[in-house]
Amino acid sequence: MRDDILEQAAGWRAEGRKVALATVVATWGSSPRPVGSQMAVDDAGSMIGSVSGGCIEGAVVHEARKTMEDGEPRMISFGVSNEMAWEVGLACGGRVQVYVEAVE
């Protein structure tokens, strides 16, 4: 299983789909995936790769859709430090920061 997330993202883009790429840029405490982990999402909901153990991928897809629409990159933080009730958290108690960008 080679790290072919970028290739997949470029492949989807070449097919004319809208694509966003999410990357873990920082972690604190016990986060399940290391810095540099990536996941790509297309406008049909296909996804490849991961940025956590499955805890925050749903929320990342939601943000990725916004980025696909407006082309603007987004930085999202997840974890125990964020006390907003609606925020998706990590069960492990870690914190993770994810950068979401459009693949042009």
Partner 1 sequence: MKRDITERLLAARKAGRPVALVTDLGTGLQTLVYEDAIHGGFGLEDDRLAEVRDRLRQDRSGLITDPEGEEDGVQLFVQTHNPPLRLLVVGAVHIAQALAPLAALTGYAVTVIDPRGSFATESRFPGVSLHDSWPDEALTELKIDNRTAVVTLTHDPKLDDPALLVALRSPAFYVGSLGSRRTHAKRLERLTEQGVTDAELARIHAPVGLDIGAVTPAEIALSVMAQITAVRRKAGAA
| Residue pair 32/94 in contact by the 8 Å Cβ criterion | yes
The structure tokens 């991961």 sit at 50
Tell me the three state secondary structure of residue 70: helix
As a whole number of angstroms, the distance between CA 93 and CA 21 comes to: 24
7 binds partner 1 (CB under 8 A): yes
45 binds partner 1 (CB under 8 A): no
Binding-site member from 53, 66, 75, 81 for partner 1 (CB under 8 A): 75
Q: What are the residues whose beta carbons fall under 8 Å from the beta carbon of 93, sequence distance 6 or more?
A: 29, 30, 79, 80
99 binds partner 1 (CB under 8 A): yes
Which segment (4-12, 44-52, 56-64, 88-96) binds partner 1 by CB under 8 A? 4-12
Binders of partner 1 among residues 54 to 73 (CB under 8 A) are 72-73
91 binds partner 1 (CB under 8 A): no
* Helices first, then strands: H and E counts in the chain: 2, 5
* Chain positions contacting partner 1, by CB under 8 A: 1-3, 6-7, 9-10, 13, 21, 23, 25-26, 34-36, 72-73, 75, 99, 101-104
